[in-house]
Amino acid sequence: MHVRIQRGSGVPISRQIDAQIRAQILSGGLRAQQPLPSVRQLARELAVNVNTVVRVYEKLAAEGLIEMRHGEGTFVAPQASTPNPRQLAAHCEELADEFDGLVRRGTMLGLGPQDLRRLLSESLQRVRKEASSTPLDSRK
Amino acid sequence: MHVRIQRGSGVPISRQIDAQIRAQILSGGLRAQQPLPSVRQLARELAVNVNTVVRVYEKLAAEGLIEMRHGEGTFVAPQASTPNPRQLAAHCEELADEFDGLVRRGTMLGLGPQDLRRLLSESLQRVRKEASSTPLDSRK
Amino acid sequence: MHVRIQRGSGVPISRQIDAQIRAQILSGGLRAQQPLPSVRQLARELAVNVNTVVRVYEKLAAEGLIEMRHGEGTFVAPQASTPNPRQLAAHCEELADEFDGLVRRGTMLGLGPQDLRRLLSESLQRVRKEASSTPLDSRK
Amino acid sequence: MHVRIQRGSGVPISRQIDAQIRAQILSGGLRAQQPLPSVRQLARELAVNVNTVVRVYEKLAAEGLIEMRHGEGTFVAPQASTPNPRQLAAHCEELADEFDGLVRRGTMLGLGPQDLRRLLSESLQRVRKEASSTPLDSRK
DNA sequence: GTGGTCTAGACCACT
DNA sequence: GTGGTCTAGACCACT
């Protein structure tokens, strides 16, 4: 599982973690029954307080996306296996809104469409490189 | 002056307003001495509390980007006229970070580079349309 | 930390609090890393609204004099340790200006230099007594 | 009449003007029937908006300390001639309070009694020099 | 527990 | 009209 938080972006840490785990489950990147890192492990990796992770896991569990099995660990819920197209679409729409926000801000900074396309291309490269260099997660 | 806020995005309203005004000043979109909307007017336009706008204006004033003149109004600071390349660059870098965030989230949703480029193109169209349809601000 | 506000003096409460905390940091009376009272605690002690304290702390934080750590508390900034002679001098000059104001007002009331010196002596006594009788702050 | 305002001290301009005129009337420095500068003249001298002065004059007139005679000008009220000991005492006490405030702030800056006495002495010199060099007011 | 943000509303001061 | 300060209270996020 990949999670990466941006500090100082103004977006609450818990929200960032939630969105990323949720995206991977909805898209099938994380499969049903697959184990998630333990609360403590993820908290350590992200340098975040344990309670912050606990609250995210609890919320996802309350929505039925994951299951916290006492003494065993946390797993993607069985029903969560089939990518849910409605929620996926909702998530994509949210992404589109955020693109709008970035484009507006870029425009206000005086950037044109070409500049913004270039920014995106550079991001794509950076993120691709990240992914390839990331050591595989212990529990994936 | 153009400001547009996204509610429910997790990013504090005040931060969104701050970033957008700041971008326009740094890029020269707002010129030195130019009047900003009054705190009350902007608050009304954005359907936001007056204090929220006041806090943003105070912060920008503390950094010397704008000047609040008691009883007169609020203006872009005289020194803010020449686009500050260092701060502009910092702001662009911040934008690049946020692109990275979106790309990561998109990737987690299973989107490929083509999908993301398409999302950007659609955003560019939407935002261009917004701009052209926006009635000119009374005070710019 | 000692803060004492005078209501009805015409000087905004927030400004009084700001000046006093600032003085103690600049002079080294408050040391680097030292914890400040929490916003709620100080608000309670001074019988002032929490937001008023928050605004003061935010301003001092924006200037790098203190650090607000989410969930942890507020602390004198590490760099603030070495008394800053330039800012200290500025603060002393401000004090001198205010002495001028008092002397002018006293003169207008018909007081002579001797009367004013006596007023100062009495103040020194009163304030000394205050200090000695103040119970040590829990967190200093 | 002597009035001197300190900008940026946090004390409202109108309050500063009020206190200074009031002090001179209470102490007999301004005698009954004596003309005050016109609203416009004082506003110009102090580089203050006319309305600010108007409001101060109106307040003092409402308390019976001065009289605004339409078409003639503004004068110290006849009854205001005999220095009012009770109000004078109140004003002196206020002054004492403000000395306390300054002494506290000075102490927080690390100044001792000697430093503060020196500050006062320097103020006395400065203010004496001001007074002697001030051109006599046209209407005194 | 800690700080962070926002609202609604009041009252004041300056142009 | 403009900005400046303050209160009371809510709800959220991080340790």
Chain F bases closer than 7 angstroms to a protein Cβ: 1-10, 12-15
Interchain CB contact of B91 with C (< 8 Å): no
Rounded to whole angstroms, the Cα distance separating B66 from A77 reads 52
- Both tokens of C92, joined, read 């002393």
- pLDDT over 70, % of chain B: 93
E strand segments, chain D: 35-36, 66-69, 73-76
How far does the CA of A98 sit from the C1' of F6, in Å? Answer: 36
How does DSSP classify residue A27? Answer: T
How far apart are the C-alpha atoms of B88 and B111, rounded to whole Å?
31
Rounded Cα distance between A58 and A37, Å, is: 14
Protein residue minimizing CA–C1' distance to F3: B70
Contact across the interface for B105 and A19, Cβ inside 8 Å: yes
Q: Return the pLDDT at C134.
A: 64
* C8 CA from F14 C1′ (Å): 37
Report yes or no: B2 at the C interface, CB cutoff 8 Å.
no
Assign D140 a pLDDT band (cuts: 50, 70, 90).
very low
pLDDT in tens, A73-114: 999 999 865 666 888 888 899 999 999 999 999 999 999 999
Average the pLDDT over A14-23 and give the result.
Answer: 95
What is the C-alpha to C-alpha distance for residues D106 and D120, in angstroms, rounded to an integer?
12
- Å separating the CA of residue A48 from the C1' of nucleotide F12: 18
HSE-up of B75 (CA within 13 Å, CB side)? 12
Say if residue A137's pLDDT is above 60. Answer: no
Spatial separation of the C-alpha atoms in residues C72 and C33, rounded to whole Å: 13
Q: Which of A46-55, A86-95, B4-13, C4-13 has the lowest mean pLDDT?
A: A86-95
For chain D, which chains pass the contact test of at least 3 CB pairs under 8 Å? C
Nearest CA to C47 out of C19, C25, C17 is that of: C17
- Amino acid symbol at A110: G
Closest CA to A60 of A95, A19, A28: A19
Closest Cα in chain C to B55: C55
Q: Is the CB of C24 under 7 A from strand F?
A: no
Sign of CA dihedral D108, D110, D113, D117: negative
Q: Is the CB of A48 under 7 A from strand F?
A: yes
Smallest CA–CA separation between B138 and chain C, in Å?
Answer: 32
A14: nearest nucleotide, CA–C1' criterion: F13
Of D35, D31, D22, D43, nearest in space to D138 by CA: D35
Contact B20 A108 (CB under 8 A): yes
Helix, strand, coil fractions of chain C, as percent rounded to 5: 60, 5, 35
**Extended beta strands in chain B, E state:** 35-36, 66-69, 73-76
Distance B51 CA to E7 C1' (A): 9
User: Quick check: A33 pLDDT over 60?
Assistant: yes
Poorest-pLDDT segment among B8-22, C1-15, C120-134: C120-134
**Using CA atoms, how far apart are residues B57 and B68, in angstroms rounded to an integer?**
8
Q: Is the dihedral of CA B38, B44, B50, B54 positive or negative?
A: negative
Closest by CA to D37, choosing from D28, D26, D27, D48, is D48
* Spatial contact of A35 and A73, defined as CB atoms under 8 Å apart: yes
> Do residues D61 and D25 touch, judged by C-beta distance below 8 A?
no
Q: Is D77 helix (H, G, I), strand (E, B) or coil?
A: coil
Contact C108 D27 (CB under 8 A): yes
The mean of the pLDDT values for chain A is 89
Please check whether residue C132 touches D, CB under 8 A: no
Query: With left for phi above 0 and alpha for psi between -120 and 50, is residue B92 left, alpha or beta?
Result: alpha
Tokens representing B133? 């349809």
Radius of gyration of chain C (CA): 17
Nucleotides of chain E touched by protein CB (<7 A): 1-10, 12-15
Distance (Å, whole) CA D5 – CA D118:
23
| Strand duo A73-76 + C35-36: pairing | unpaired
User: Which residues, at least 6 apart from B92, have a Cβ–Cβ distance to it below 8 Å?
Assistant: A109, A111
Residue D51, pLDDT > 90, answer: yes
Of all protein residues, which has its CA closest to the C1' atom of E15?
B71
The whole-angstrom separation of Cα A81 and Cα A92 is 18
Q: Within A30-112, where are the H helices?
A: 39-46, 50-62, 85-108
At B18, is the secondary structure helix, strand, or coil?
helix
Distance CA B83, CA B27 (A): 6
Is C23 within 8 Å of D105 (Cβ atoms)? yes
* Portion 8-47 of C in contact with D at CB < 8 A: 9-12, 15-16, 19-20, 23-24, 26-29
Q: Which residues of A touch B24 (CB under 8 A)?
A: 108
Q: A77 to chain B, minimum CA–CA distance in Å? A: 18
**Residue A138, pLDDT score:** 46
User: Hey, what are A3's tokens?
Assistant: 């999670």
Q: Measure Cα distances from C123 to B48, C15, D10 in Å.
A: 47, 21, 22
Which has more pLDDT, B131 or B124?
Answer: B124
Residue written as tokens 């902007």? B42
Let me know if A77 is exposed, middle or buried by CB neighbors in 10 A (0-12, 13-18, 19+): middle
What SS3 class is residue C11? coil
Helix (H, G, I), strand (E, B) or coil at C77: coil
Residue A79 CA and nucleotide E6 C1' are separated, in Å, by: 38
Q: Which residues contact C89 (CB under 8 A, 6 or more apart)?
A: none
Q: Is the CB of C118 under 7 A from strand F?
A: no
Residue B98's closest CA among A105, A134, A48? A105
Band (D56; pLDDT cuts 50, 70, 90): very high
B interface test, pick of A116, A118, A123 with most B CB neighbours within 10 Å? A123
Q: Residue A135's pLDDT band (boundaries 50, 70, 90)?
A: low
Which one, of B134, B40, B22, lies nearest residue B87 by Cα?
A: B22
CA–C1' gap, A60 and E14, in angstroms: 54
H helices present in chain B, as ranges: 13-26, 39-46, 50-62, 85-108, 113-133
Chain B contact for C62, CB < 8 A?
Answer: yes
Residue whose C-alpha is closest to residue B18's, from B74, B53, B56, B58 = B56
d(Cα A34, Cα A139) in Å, to the nearest integer?
Answer: 9
Q: State the pLDDT confidence band at C132, using cuts at 50, 70 and 90.
A: confident
Q: Is the pLDDT of residue B22 over 90?
A: yes
Return the residue in C31, C109, C134 with the most chain D beta carbons within 10 A, the one to mutate for interface testing: C109
Record: contact B91-A109, CB cut-off 8 A: yes
C67-96 pLDDT, tens digit each: 999 999 999 999 875 667 888 898 999 999
